[in-house]
Amino acid sequence: MAKRRTAKTTLERKSRLIFGLIILLTVTACLCWPWWQMVRLARTGSSDRAEEAAWAYLQHLHAVRFAADAESKKQLNQLRGVRLAEGEPEPTLVRLEPAEPRRSQQPPKELNGLERDALAVFLKHPEETSYRRTEADTLRYVQALRCRKACADCHNNYQVGELIGTISLQLDVEDRRHALLTNRLILASAGAGIVACALAAFYIIFRYMVTKPVRHLKDVTQRVSEGDIQFRSEIDTGNEL
């Protein structure tokens, strides 16, 4: 009996397997793009927020420095120059001395860790403007402050393109990581739901349009072979069957 059942359902099983693989590959290929875009947007969003915070902090420093009087400086210092989440430390500023004649700039000797690694990259690659590193739920970000033409009026001992300093800060990205995980689960669940619905629809259609009539024909041929030549097929599918 088991062999007969296997023989009867071989076509159906093969068709379901092939169709399922095709649907799975198609859905996976279609979801790869939004999956990648979702991850890229999450990373870009954190980096953009860090860059905005660094420049806001720099503008705040300039505003305090160029305040008209002591009272204005006091009021500006009471205002936070950067909008940070609760528990995030204030940005830190690291200053670099201008390069001596015929020598390149050197990072401060007391620096270590991320700031020193970032300065090594900035000094070696003048086109680099930022350095970032993600550690657990924290984004550590360093923004390079290079001397521009507009900066040369005040920082006249620096050459255009030289590093004046860096701004480093730490941002909590736990919420973004949780949101990214949630979106991944939703996307994966949607893909699994699409595959399940497609397989269910294919199973129903294939079973009633192909498998059931074929099994009926097999039963007819079996009974005729056993001598019941009066038995007739009752198939009205409107197609080749």
| Per-residue pLDDT tens digits for 45-77 | 778 888 888 888 888 777 777 766 676 666 555
Q: How high is the pLDDT of residue 201?
A: 86
Q: How high is the pLDDT of residue 2?
A: 45
Q: How high is the pLDDT of residue 142?
A: 92
Q: How high is the pLDDT of residue 96?
A: 86
Residue 5, pLDDT above cutoff 80: no
Of the candidates 24, 32, 36, 30, the residue with the CA atom closest to the CA atom of residue 180: 36
Enumerate residues 6+ apart whose C-beta is below 8 A from 99: 105, 159, 162
Q: How high is the pLDDT of residue 215?
A: 79
- Judge if pTM exceeds 0.85: no
Residue 62 near residue 81, CB atoms below 8 Å: no
Spatial separation of the C-alpha atoms in residues 24 and 28, rounded to whole Å? 6
Q: What is the mean pLDDT of residues 198-217?
A: 81
Q: How high is the pLDDT of residue 68?
A: 61
Q: How high is the pLDDT of residue 173?
A: 79
Pair of tokens at residue 31: 């979801």
Which phi and psi angles does 234 have, rounded to 5°?
A: -120, 65
Q: How high is the pLDDT of residue 78?
A: 54
| Side chain identity at residue 240, one-letter code | E
188 or 209, higher pLDDT: 188
Q: How high is the pLDDT of residue 7?
A: 45
Residue 138, pLDDT above cutoff 80: yes
Q: How high is the pLDDT of residue 182?
A: 86
Question: 130 by DSSP, 3-state: which?
Answer: strand
Residue 126, pLDDT above cutoff 60: yes
pLDDT tier at 214 (50, 70, 90 boundaries)? confident
Q: What percent of the chain has pLDDT over 90?
A: 4
